[in-house]
Amino acid sequence: MSTYTRAFAGKTAFVTGGASGIGRALTVELLAAGARVTIADIAGAPEAARALGCEAVALDVTDAEAVTRAVRAFVSAHGRLDYLFNNAGVAVVGETKSMSGADWRRVLDVNVSGVVHGVHAAYPILIQQGSGHIVNTASAAGLLPIPGAVAYATSKHAVVGLSTSLRAEARAYGVKVSVLCPSFVRTPIADNVKLLGNIDRRTALAIVDRIGWMPPEAPARTALRGIARNEAVIVAPAYARV
């Protein structure tokens, strides 16, 4: 049995944004490693769970009380929570001058408050257990300036700061925290991203095509290897680390 498999075999994991993209890829890898997984998503979770052979809950991560109920129900059903993956996210692309207040709120509510709600729900439980690992999905946009996606970069910088700061604090309680920072990943976010101003979706996607997309399986595998090694900041692929 490999170290990778040993880290997750028999463990429990709760994955938000698990119906598609990186969340779904994480779930596939976790299940293959022998973990018991529940995916949570605002849409598509039951269908994805049936296809993958795991449990599901419909969940809007912007609803703090709903997140707390879901996490507590998970712990009640499984007896413990070993891994929490705060993975749900949205994006808005365009010049900041074109952004409305609603655009800002949507990005920050999902990408920042959604992570905060997951941490708020799970962290006291993990402290009580004396173990557990919180994994927050940020982005390379949380490490670099990204003009044209200021709100998204703002949210992901916040997730990186939350994760690295909480990691230092949580160590005293036996709780681990990591943050995943992938570059361009071909997920539904790319197809559903809101574009502001005169940005053409096909042109915007073609620009990224020239840089190179990653399939979601790549950052998922990188993430789980890094989590098994308890890395603080997990960056993928190699050019993003450079």
For the chain, what's the residue count? 242
Enter the tokens of residue 178: 């990591």
Alpha-helical regions (H) of the chain: 3-8, 21-32, 45-52, 64-78, 101-108, 114-129, 150-170, 188-192, 201-211, 217-228, 238-241
The position carrying tokens 């809101």 is 194
Q: Which residues pair with 86 in a beta bridge?
A: 136
152 catalytic per annotation: yes
The position carrying tokens 């991560």 is 61
User: Does the CA dihedral 60-62-65-68 come out positive or negative?
Assistant: positive
The position carrying tokens 């361009």 is 184
- Say if residues 193 and 91 touch (Cβ distance below 8 Å): yes
Q: How far apart are CA 146 and CA 183, in angstroms?
A: 12
- Say if residues 38 and 15 touch (Cβ distance below 8 Å): yes
Which SS3 state, helix, strand or coil, does residue 9 take?
Answer: coil
Q: Which candidate in 4, 83, 123, 152 is catalytic?
A: 152
Q: How far apart are CA 148 and CA 141, in angstroms?
A: 11
- Residue type at 181 in one-letter notation: C
**Catalytically annotated residues:** 152
